Structure 1
Amino acid sequence: MYTTLISAAQLAQQDRAHCIVLDCRFQLDNADYGHAAYEQGHIPDARYLHLDYHLSGSKNGRNGRHPLPDGQRLAVDLGAIGVDADMQVVAYDDGSGQYAARAWWLLRWLGHEKVAVLDGGLAAWKAAGLPLDQAAPARNSRRFAIRAALQQTVDADAVQANLEQQSFTVVDARSADRFRGVGETIDPVGGHIPGAANRFFMNNLTAEQHYKPAAQLRAEWEALLGEGFDPAAIVHQCGSGVTACQNLLAMEIAGFHGSRLYPGSWSEWCSDPARPVER
């Protein structure tokens, strides 16, 4: 069972009768990119999941750019592509792994433990000389049952209350410039949640876009948060709750279990002018 990462070689040897591959390719500035790229070539038998349509819920202007999907609806979507309790799931994209990590986190949120991210993404699959396919996989619907969550969340009210209570530490996964409020181009307000720490999600990866070794990740997280920190007292956020999932995955790889996600993240936080901003 793979619960964090799987290599291209390991995925190639998986029995597809018991393994579902999710293609999660996406580009923020071109919502049609992922599906078009999927049709041009994907890992054999992979199913495509769209960040906006499958891995996010409806926006109302106050709940962020990528609010969590309805859990029951996502469960139906997963069952329709063949995922059930016994299925190993592997997610990949062709970027820095953030969209695959979002799928990984969501499945764990629904209680599915057997889910991993393809380390190095589609580039690693190609580099290993493994084939791509254009054929649509056969449909084999199953029942995906929601179980006890393996990942937890906090909401904006809890983050607001924490400004005084200081019961957890918020870690922002955005770039250092966006964290400082410099050159913000995605959200209407620049800055960060007061008191937050900053860990750019790309810092979890090597130059080749693989995750760093567990020991190195552990040392880097301890350098940021202090040796012996309590993972349960860490809440991750980013711009919209997507790249923060990569920090959550990195902590799991490092052996730090139990941190939580603030799904609305900065795009939700800054939508209310009454909430304080630090720069």
Structure 2
Amino acid sequence: MKTLVIPMFSLAATLLSGTAFAAKPVPPLVSPGWIATHSCKPGVVTLDVRNPIGGGNEQTYLRGHIPCAVYSDYAQNGLWRQDIGGAPGMVPPISELRTLIGGLGIDNRTHVVIYTAGTSATDMASAARVFWTFKYLGDNNVSILNGGYAAYIARGRTPLYPVQTGLVKPIPKTFKTHVKPRLLATEAEVERAMRSHVPLVDNRPSSQYLGVNLAPVDKRRGTIPGAHNVPESWLTINDGGVFRTPAELTKFYKVAGVPIAGTEINFCNTAQWAALGWFASYELLGNKKAKLYTGSMSQWSRNPALPIEKQIN
């Protein structure tokens, strides 16, 4: 594997350049070739959020990462997600997110490209949750690396692209938020949607949707009454790190009985798999009325006044 070492003064000059790369329209997905060309360019911050679920952590980052990428621990409670009332997938206070993102060297002109290990749909879902967070905060200059780090290094073959070892220390910037509440569904909104038959999409594995298995964070088996099931593993090719095409997703949504347009609320247990479902709907299928229920089943199942539907008792 090729190793690229970038002096810190060089990185600082790159980050401080007055040229903002994000002047062009930002695609939701970028390829390994694209990030290999652009990761160290002015106005771009490549964000490594590999975590234990995806087979990586900070030590993995130090051993090798995309050149100029900065690291953020997605798995650490309270950074990108916060446990509130027993629901671990809730949105942290906006002021804390503002500080977190600015501390990563990101401002509102920065094109952020997020990547994970790229080992599974679950792993890609963590990138989707961070992506959703940026969108929720009003920042549209954000993309996901399709295929993740596995695609970038072409695991199992001679790597096509260089990697960098060690720590890249970002230069803090000021990140301003312009929250878009329409991207977030509250528990009360989900209850109203359930009663008015607005499409609810459960992005958990079918065993949890049907009520066969209970996730550790949930209190009751089953799903929200009337919800449709689009398992997270359907959204990437062979449950890997590469997203399905819009044409494939359209077919799968049809099988699941989910419209590809109109109000839609995605949920799972902690709004990670659901973020993957939201990304597929909102970005890949272009449904700008898709929302994310961050409380998901970990919150819903704790409220005895809310109904649960089980197909298997």
Q: Which residue of 2 aligns with 1:91?
A: 114
Aligned counterparts of 2:194 and 2:228: Cα–Cα separation in 1 = 13
Classify 1:165/1:256 alpha carbon distance in 2 versus 1 (closer, same or farther; 3 Å). closer
Q: Which residue of 2 aligns with 1:216?
A: 248
1:12 to 21, 32, 36: 36
Q: Which residue of 2 aligns with 1:190?
A: 221
Answer yes or no: is the 8 Å Cα contact 1:173–1:244 preserved in 2: yes
Answer yes or no: is the 8 Å Cα contact 2:202–2:266 preserved in 1: yes
Supply the AA of the counterpart residue of 1:116.
S
User: What is the CA-CA distance between 1:225 and the residue it aligns to?
Assistant: 3.6
The answer to whether residue 264 in structure 2 is matched with residue 234 in structure 1 is yes
Aligned counterparts of 1:162 and 1:80: Cα–Cα separation in 2 = 37
Q: Which residue of 2 aligns with 1:25?
A: 50
2:93 to 70, 79, 83: 70
Per-residue Cα deviation, 1:163-217 (whole angstroms, up to 9, x for no partner): 3233x21100000011011122423321111110000112111135311122222
Classify 1:249/1:135 alpha carbon distance in 2 versus 1 (closer, same or farther; 3 Å). same
Answer yes or no: is the 8 Å Cα contact 1:3–1:113 preserved in 2: no
Answer yes or no: is the 8 Å Cα contact 1:84–1:144 preserved in 2: yes
Q: Which residue of 2 aligns with 1:138?
A: 169
User: Any residues of structure 2 matched to 1:40-59 within 5 Å, and which?
Assistant: 40-51=63-74, 52-59=77-84
User: Any residues of structure 2 matched to 1:140-159 within 5 Å, and which?
Assistant: 140-149=171-180, 152-159=183-190
Runs of 4+ in 1 over 6 A off after TM superposition: none
Aligned counterparts of 1:34 and 1:268: Cα–Cα separation in 2 = 27
Give ranges in structure 1 of 5+ residues lacking alignment. Answer: none
Please tell me whether Structure 1 or Structure 2 has the larger radius of gyration of its CA atoms.
2
Q: Which residue of 1 aligns with 2:210?
A: 180
2:284 to 227, 248, 253: 253
Aligned counterparts of 1:120 and 1:29: Cα–Cα separation in 2 = 12
Q: Which residue of 1 aligns with 2:145?
A: 118
1:109 to 129, 136, 142: 136
- Percent identity over the alignment is 25
Aligned length: 272
Q: SS of the residue aligned with 1:66?
A: strand
Classify 1:185/1:258 alpha carbon distance in 2 versus 1 (closer, same or farther; 3 Å). closer
Answer yes or no: is the 8 Å Cα contact 2:47–2:112 preserved in 1: yes
User: TM-score, normalised to structure 2's length?
Assistant: 0.80
| Larger CA deviation: 196-205 vs 64-73 | 64-73
1:2 to 2, 26, 48: 26
Answer yes or no: is the 8 Å Cα contact 2:61–2:166 preserved in 1: no
Give ranges in structure 2 of 5+ residues lacking alignment. Answer: 1-24
Answer yes or no: is the 8 Å Cα contact 2:70–2:170 preserved in 1: no
User: TM-score, normalised to structure 1's length?
Assistant: 0.90
Supply the AA of the counterpart residue of 1:109.
Y
CA RMSD of aligned residues (A): 2.1
Answer yes or no: is the 8 Å Cα contact 2:194–2:200 preserved in 1: no
Supply the AA of the counterpart residue of 1:215.
A
Classify 1:204/1:59 alpha carbon distance in 2 versus 1 (closer, same or farther; 3 Å). same
Q: Which residue of 2 aligns with 1:163?
A: 194
Aligned counterparts of 1:182 and 1:145: Cα–Cα separation in 2 = 44
Aligned counterparts of 1:223 and 1:85: Cα–Cα separation in 2 = 39
Per-residue Cα deviation, 1:28-56 (whole angstroms, up to 9, x for no partner): 599xx522322232222222222324211
